[in-house]
Amino acid sequence: MQGTRIVLRIRVYESWPMKITVILCTYNRCHMLREALNSAMAMKLPEYTTWEVLVVDNNSSDKTREVVTEIGTRYPGRVRYLFEPNPGKSHALNAGIRVALGDVVAFMDDDVTVDPLWLGNLTACLDQDEWAGTGGRIIPVWSSSPPNWLPREGRYPLGPLAMFDLGPQAGQLTESPIGTNMAFKREVFEKHGAFRTDLGPRPGSEIRGEDSEFGNRLLAAGGRLRYEPSAIVYHPVQQDRIRKQYFLSWFFDKARSTVLEFGVPRDPRGQIWGVPLDLYLRLGVWTARWMVAWEPSRRFSRKLNVWTVAGQIVECYRQSKTPGAGALRQSLRRKETA
């Protein structure tokens, strides 16, 4: 009798549709990928929750496939591999969404480790009609003490480190979550489209923002997102990112992606070379404030503002010099959000 019950239980389990797909996009990071997948395989979910991790290999030339095969052999039916040759993270994300089996699609990166309760806590509320998606906490893991030039006030200066922590209280999100710790109902993508491929890192471009653009698109359409602080991802702070030049480049490219997402800012006073006059004014103000600041973190914070405005100016100018750039962007947006 006991053996019969076990057999029936397995048959019922295998007949259920996949409930959650975790999409993990990767490119030439097989050593980090191994650690990320091992942490995912250690997750604890309710017994009858069916889930998978879908690794999307975005044209890697290292041993990514071998790592996925090895871990997949140890955890049969839990890991799938998909090769996406079209370079660019958004292409990889969209390829994963197309073949995901879950009713819920969650996302993690190849350089993080997840808490054992991460996925269950992140997706628990998505059984309710109220929520379209969720985001959790991303906690930086430092290998050394932060440098004295790194701004500590607020969380936005730490954007290059992918930190996202709104505190211990769960509640409604009024901003987009970050790509390495978010989940959405699959129907959201069917209704609101995929990730924009003109955003997101790709060969020759470090312009990001594909995740925040999608979250903002959802919010603008009236979708409700929930912040779940108990869904924790640990993001190691790589030493090559603790450099001033990395932070400056990140903020410069982030500003460019803002213009790509929202368009050239309007200024009733007009433009010069396609750039709103207000941006020139802001560039001058922040440059002056940078020059007179002496405390290291404050001085660098103001320098980041200079690079941010400079990135906006460069992208506005580029848009003005690219025939049909605005129309092309709108066409691409309509195509990928349709």
For the segment 261-296, what is each residue's pLDDT rounded down to a tens digit?
888 999 889 899 999 999 999 999 999 999 999 999
Percent of the chain whose pLDDT exceeds 70: 89
Mean pLDDT of 28-32: 94
Q: Which residues contact 227 (CB under 8 A, 6 or more apart)?
A: 134, 135, 136, 166, 170, 171, 172, 173, 177
Amino acid sitting at position 327: A
Residue 336: band (very low, low, confident or very high) from pLDDT cuts 50, 70, 90: low
79 pLDDT more than 70: yes
Report d(CA 133, CA 123) in Å as an integer.
8
Mean pLDDT of 171-199: 94
Please check whether the domain covering 2-241 is classified as CATH 3.90.550.10: yes
List beta partners, residue 114: 233
Report d(CA 27, CA 16) in Å as an integer.
32
Predicted local confidence at residue 167, as pLDDT: 92
- Token readout for 307 is 């690079």
Report d(CA 73, CA 7) in Å as an integer.
23
186 pLDDT more than 60: yes
Give me the helix-helix angle, 244-262 and 296-321, nearest 10°.
Answer: 40
Residue 12: band (very low, low, confident or very high) from pLDDT cuts 50, 70, 90: very low
The residue behind tokens 């922040």 is 286
Closest CA to 237 of 116, 324, 155, 138: 138
Report d(CA 287, CA 195) in Å as an integer.
35
pTM as predicted: 0.84
Tell me the torsion sign for CA atoms 98, 100, 104, 105: negative
- C-beta of residue 82 within 8 angstroms of C-beta of residue 55: yes
329 pLDDT more than 70: no
Closest CA to 283 of 254, 257, 258, 304: 304
| Model pLDDT for residues 212-251, shown as the tens digit of each residue | 999 999 999 999 999 999 999 999 988 888 899 999 999 9
Amino acid sitting at position 66: E
155 pLDDT more than 60: yes
Helix, strand, coil shares of the chain as percentages rounded to 5? 45, 20, 35
- C-beta of residue 226 within 8 angstroms of C-beta of residue 172: yes
Q: What does the domain layout of the chain look like in residue ranges?
A: 2-241, 244-337
Q: In whole angstroms, what separates CA 235 from the centre of its chain? A: 12
The residue behind tokens 């059984």 is 127
Task: Say how many Å lie between the first and final Cα of the chain, rounded.
Answer: 53
Predicted local confidence at residue 206, as pLDDT: 77
| Model pLDDT for residues 312-328, shown as the tens digit of each residue | 999 999 988 876 555 44
Predicted local confidence at residue 6, as pLDDT: 32
| Model pLDDT for residues 88-110, shown as the tens digit of each residue | 999 999 999 999 999 999 999 99
Report d(CA 48, CA 126) in Å as an integer.
16
DSSP string over 119-188? HHHHHGGGGSTT-SEEEEEEEEE-SSPPPTTS--SSSGGGGGGT-B---S--EEESS---TTSEEEEHHH
The residue behind tokens 């549709």 is 17
Report d(CA 203, CA 160) in Å as an integer.
18
Burial pattern 132-156, b for ≥16 Cβ within 10 A else e, equals bbbbbbbeeeeeeeeeebbbeeeee
Predicted local confidence at residue 211, as pLDDT: 93
